[in-house]
Chains A and B, each alone.
Chain A
């Protein structure tokens, strides 16, 4: 198609938005409502995902290494025949991690496991401090007694976080089978709950967005159909003077896409205002929690809205005009 024709048809498309302004306005209104709902669903799922992510980070697995203390306080370890034992009855063949260097080497091995996010080495001294922080006062006294006696029942270990909690079981079994690991402490139930929430949000998000997308498509198609019947005369003359189907179609596509893009831009503005109000309300209700800033998602949301607008606009008009041209478009003579 020639550039002059494209220019003319684009102009005609824009003119039609103005000529059918009431219809265009109502379509933009409903499309904005759909897009804002899609935006809310997206922002909600981003924020819930962030919260779940924060929870995931807090869902730490504590790994205790197979060191002297594990041998000392553990049970069922046999002294190999002929081995020399110390005053506690422990020999160095009864445990695999003998010093800090070996403990750090185990940490390096753990890092190599798939799905491991972070591995933080915890010395037995740090572990003792940590346990004192979380235990009740009376138990702290017990540790103070031990400390005074120069004893530390804690083993060297590591604090591990995972990338994906769905692979929790496989990762845990890989950790426990690593040489140097004696035992682990984890919250399996929490991991399952988090995974469930994440999957639920994903499915609900997809369902909501799909329904709203279909609604958007129907709305644009309907607008185009009304516009088309309003312009029946014009189309019949177009056909009579030798317009190709694409010539007839382009102004409608321009109209549909323009309505889509205008709606996308308006939706972004409306969503921004809604989000600001919502963030303030949520923060005043739940206190000091950081929600995802709107600015960090602005391009994604704009992209999604424009894509919805363009797809709904072009597809809606192509489908409707295609049907029309097939059924009625050739009837131009009223002889």
Chain B
């Protein structure tokens, strides 16, 4: 097989696959109804939808924070509903998570915050030094390695969060409204960074409310409404399928 074909095959292999997934919480809320979706390796996908549309549940299921009532979910080759509790940490190491509220540890420096994600995997100090420096350079914060989170702007804090998500070289990045707490200029910078990371081969799944961003970057868009996928369009088009 030629290199081009191999790349094409890799691009077409689903990194996330939902088959007939439904989730009903014990409170009786039907969060997701018969969701079927495939996200291929190397894609950049925006997930949009109003509050209560099921975005949270969709992401929680991908991160194996919740289990579905019915259906199967395969992420990064792991069969999530059948996965044992002990395997969950090892599954999570295959992805990087970026939070809306940055989630940086206030009493740790920028460097320590990023290194933290590597300590969890049992990496040695030398490896950590190399990888953290690389990740901070990628997000343009290597000069602020010794700063504390409260000395950084919102955008800079989110870039630290991004560096932390990247430091273990994950195949998949899950970004939960990463631009929700930053100004519009910084929002574009962050999505540009994510696009850059995506171009290097990492799959990116990003939840957002910012339709301008979705339109401007022109990636695939999945729209959720009342627990169902109502649109799945390429090129940043936001509208329902019907």
If the complex has contacts A233-B105, A332-B65, A333-B63, are A242 and B55 also in contact, measured as CB distance less than 8 A?
Answer: no
Which residues of the other chain, A, contact B97 by a CB distance below 8 angstroms? Answer: 240-241, 332-333
Q: B117 and A241: CB pair below 8 A?
A: yes
Contact partner, A242, options B60, B101, B121, B124, Cβ 8 Å: B121
Q: Which residues of A, 232-254, contact B by the 8 Å Cβ criterion? A: 233-234, 236-245, 247
Contact partner, A241, options B59, B60, B100, B120, Cβ 8 Å: B120
A8 within 8 A of B: yes
Q: B99 and A334: CB pair below 8 A?
A: yes
Q: A19 and B107: CB pair below 8 A?
A: yes
Q: B123 and A244: CB pair below 8 A?
A: no
Taking CB as reference atom, which chain A residue is nearest B97? A240
Q: B107 and A241: CB pair below 8 A?
A: no
B11 within 8 A of A: no
Taking CB as reference atom, which chain B residue is nearest A241? B117
Distance between Cα atoms of A334 and B207 in the complex (Å): 12
Distance between Cα atoms of A98 and B65 in the complex (Å): 95
Task: Give, as a whole number of angstroms, the nearest-CB distance from B137 to chain A.
Answer: 20
A285 within 8 A of B: no
B219 within 8 A of A: no
Q: A240 and B92: CB pair below 8 A?
A: yes
A335 within 8 A of B: yes
B103 within 8 A of A: yes
Q: Which has the most chain B C-beta neighbours within 10 Å: A243, A330, A335?
A: A335
Interface residues on B, range: 20 to 34
Taking CB as reference atom, which chain A residue is nearest B125? A4
Q: B119 and A8: CB pair below 8 A?
A: yes
Which residues of the other chain, B, contact A236 by a CB distance below 8 angstroms? Answer: 103
Which residues of the other chain, A, contact B28 by a CB distance below 8 angstroms? Answer: none
If the complex has contacts A19-B107, A233-B105, A242-B93, are A335 and B60 also in contact, measured as CB distance less than 8 A?
Answer: yes
Distance between Cα atoms of A237 and B86 in the complex (Å): 17
Which residues of the other chain, B, contact A237 by a CB distance below 8 angstroms? Answer: 103, 105, 116
A2 within 8 A of B: yes
Instruction: Encode B104-122 as 1/0 by CB contact (under 8 A) with A.
Output: 0101000000001101111
Distance between Cα atoms of A2 and B119 in the complex (Å): 10
Instruction: Encode B64-105 as 1/0 by CB contact (under 8 A) with A.
Output: 010000000000000000000010011111000101110101
Q: A330 and B65: CB pair below 8 A?
A: yes
Task: Give, as a whole number of angstroms, the nearest-CB distance from A258 to chain B.
Answer: 18
Task: Give, as a whole number of angstroms, the nearest-CB distance from B164 to chain A.
Answer: 7
If the complex has contacts A241-B93, A242-B89, are A4 and B65 also in contact, measured as CB distance less than 8 A?
Answer: no
Which residues of the other chain, B, contact A243 by a CB distance below 8 angstroms? Answer: 89, 120
A149 within 8 A of B: no
Distance between Cα atoms of A330 and B91 in the complex (Å): 14
Q: A333 and B122: CB pair below 8 A?
A: no
Distance between Cα atoms of A227 and B200 in the complex (Å): 40
Distance between Cα atoms of A208 and B47 in the complex (Å): 62
Q: Which residues of B, 199-225, contact A by the 8 Å Cβ criterion? A: 207
Distance between Cα atoms of A1 and B121 in the complex (Å): 10
A331 within 8 A of B: yes
Q: Which has the most chain A C-beta neighbours within 10 Å: B63, B92, B101, B120?
A: B120
Contact partner, B120, options A19, A238, A331, Cβ 8 Å: A238
Taking CB as reference atom, which chain A residue is nearest B99? A334
Distance between Cα atoms of A124 and B68 in the complex (Å): 97
Task: Give, as a whole number of angstroms, the nearest-CB distance from A22 to chain B.
Answer: 15
Contact partner, B56, options A1, A19, A335, Cβ 8 Å: A335
Q: Which residues of B, 161-206, contact A by the 8 Å Cβ criterion? A: 164, 168, 176-177
Contact partner, A4, options B89, B91, B92, B123, Cβ 8 Å: B123
Which residues of the other chain, A, contact B176 by a CB distance below 8 angstroms? Answer: 333-335
Contacts A/B (CB < 8 Å), 27 sampled:
A2-B122, A4-B123, A4-B125, A5-B122, A233-B103, A236-B103, A237-B105, A239-B89, A240-B63, A241-B97, A241-B116, A241-B117, A241-B120, A241-B164, A241-B168, A242-B90, A247-B89, A247-B120, A332-B65, A332-B97, A333-B97, A334-B99, A334-B176, A335-B59, A335-B60, A335-B100, A335-B176
Residue positions of A touching B, CB distance < 8 A:
1-2, 4-5, 8, 19, 233-234, 236-245, 247, 330-335
Additional pairs, 20, CB under 8 Å, beyond known A237-B105, A240-B103, A333-B59? A2-B122, A2-B124, A4-B123, A4-B125, A236-B103, A237-B116, A239-B89, A240-B97, A241-B93, A241-B116, A241-B164, A241-B168, A242-B90, A242-B121, A243-B120, A244-B86, A332-B97, A333-B65, A335-B60, A335-B177
